[in-house]
Amino acid sequence: MKHAKKVVLAFSGGVDTSACIPFLLNEYGVDEVVAFAADLGQGDELESVRQKALTAGASQSLVDDLIKPFIEEFAFPAIRANALYEGKYPLSTALARPLIARRLVEIAREVGADAVAHGCTGKGNDQVRFDLAIGTLAPELKVLTPAREWTMSREELITYGERFGIPAPVSKKSPYSIDLNLLGRSIEAGSLEDLSLPPMEDVFQMTSSIEKSPEKFDEIEILFENGNPIAIDGIHLDPVSLISKVNILAGRHGFGRIDMIENRVVGIKSREIYETPGLLLLIKAHQELESLTLPADVLKTKLNIDRQWAELVYQGLWFTPLKNALDGFIERTQNDVNGSIKIRLHKGNMIIIGRNSTNNSLYLSDYSTYGNKDKFQHQLAKGFIYIWGLPSRIWAEVNSRKELK
C-alpha cells in the first residue's frame, strides 16, 4: 500500500537523508520524491548536494537560500531571549528546524505533494522538531519517517546508499554525525561516544585550539539596539555579516567550544560537541547589557522566561501559543536594551571589560558612589531594614514564646 504519491523530502546530503530517497521509492512505493535542501550558511557546495539527490532518484532537487530569515527571524530572537538550553547550548541546530519545516510545507503546497518526509532517527531531537512543526503548520500533510522504520545500522545505510550510486559522505572508520550552519556546528557519534576521552582536534573547524590561538588578546565592542546586535567596533553591519564576523573574531581565540552531556527530548542522555563562537558571545554580551538596563524584578522574571523559551525551542515547540506569548514579553523588555559591551578575547575566554548605555543605564554613579557626590540617603536605611526584617522578627518572637511555655 502506498504511503503517498508525491513526497517532499528535507534533504541534507548526509547518510540518512541520502538513503531516504531510494527507500521511499522502493520500500514505500512512493511515485515521486522532491528533494529540498536549505542553505543556512553552512558553506558547503550545495550544487553537489542538489546533484546527489538527483543521482539518488529524486525527480526534482531544490536548494533555497534561507540564511537571511534564519538569522533575522530565528537567531536574533534567540539572542534577545538569552537562549541557552540547560544553561550551555545556544540552540544553533534547534533554531534551524522550524525554518526548514516551514519551507518544507510551503514547497509541498507549491508542487502539490500529499506528504513530506525527513531522515531523522528515532532517538534524536530533530524528529520531534520536524513532526511538531509540520503537524502545526500543515496537519493535512502526511509525515513519512523512513529512519524510524528501517533497521539498518549507520554502516549498513552507507552500504545501502552505495547500491544506488550514492557516495559515502563520511569515512566508515570515523563516522561523526555533523550538522552545520552559520550559527555553529554540532558533532556527535564515533569516538565521542566514549565519555572518558576528550574530543580529538579534528572534530573542530570553527574554533582554534587554545594552543594555536593568538598569544595577544583582541578587544571588540558590540553595539545593541532594542536587544539586537547592530555594530562591531562602531561599524554597522547587516545581521548575516555581523554573525559571520563575530564567528571569526571569537573562533580564532578558541571561544565557543561546548562539550556537554545533554538531556534529549526522547529521554536519553547524549554527549554533544558544539562550536558556536559568535552566537554564544553575542548572547553573553546581551545578558551583560540587560544587567545594566533592566530593573531587578524584570531581570528576575526574564531569567525564568528565557529558560522556558530555550526549552520550548529545543523541544520543537516554536509554533505554539506559549512560545508566542513568551515572545511578547521578551519583545517588550528589549525596548530599553540599548548600548554597547566591550569584550576582551583571549585563549578561549571572553571577558567583559566595558559597559555603556547612554540613555537606558540604571546604574547611576551619584547613588552608587562612595565619594563626596553620594546622593544616597544613608539615614533612611535603618527604617527600611526594620520594615524589611519585620516578618522574620515576628516569626522569631512567636517561636520563642512557644519555647518558654
Q: Is 177 a catalytic residue?
A: yes
In whole angstroms, what is the distance from residue 366 CA to residue 350 CA?
30
Start-to-end CA distance of the chain, whole Å, equals: 83
Check 12, 61, 80, 126 and give the catalytic one: 126
Collapsing DSSP to helix, strand or coil, 190 comes out as: helix
Name the phi and psi angles at 325, rounded to 5: -65, -40
- The CA–CA distances, whole Å, from 366 to 360, 362, 376, 381 equal 16, 11, 8, 17
Pairwise CA distance, residues 375 & 366, whole Å? 6
Active-site hit among 50, 97, 103, 129: 97
**Local structure of 195: helix, strand or coil:** coil
Among this protein's residues, is 65 annotated catalytic?
no
Among residues 16, 179, 306, 336, which one is catalytic?
A: 16
179 labelled catalytic = no
DSSP letters, 302-335, are: HHHHHHHHHHHHHTT-SSSHHHHHHHHHHHHHGG
Q: Give the torsion sign (CA, 190, 192, 198, 201).
A: positive
| 114 included as an active-site residue | no
| Cα–Cα dist 99/68, whole Å | 11
Helix (H, G, I), strand (E, B) or coil at 389: helix
194 within 8 A of 188, measured Cβ to Cβ:
no
Find out whether 188 and 273 touch, Cβ atoms under 8 Å.
yes
In the set 39, 131, 177, 355, the catalytic residue is 177
SS3 assignment for 4-27: CCEEEEECCCCHHHHHHHHHHHHC
DSSP, collapsed to helix, strand or coil, labels residue 343 as: strand
Rg, C-alpha atoms of the chain: 26
Quick one: CA dihedral 164, 170, 175, 179, positive or negative? negative
Q: Which residues are catalytic?
A: 16, 97, 126, 177
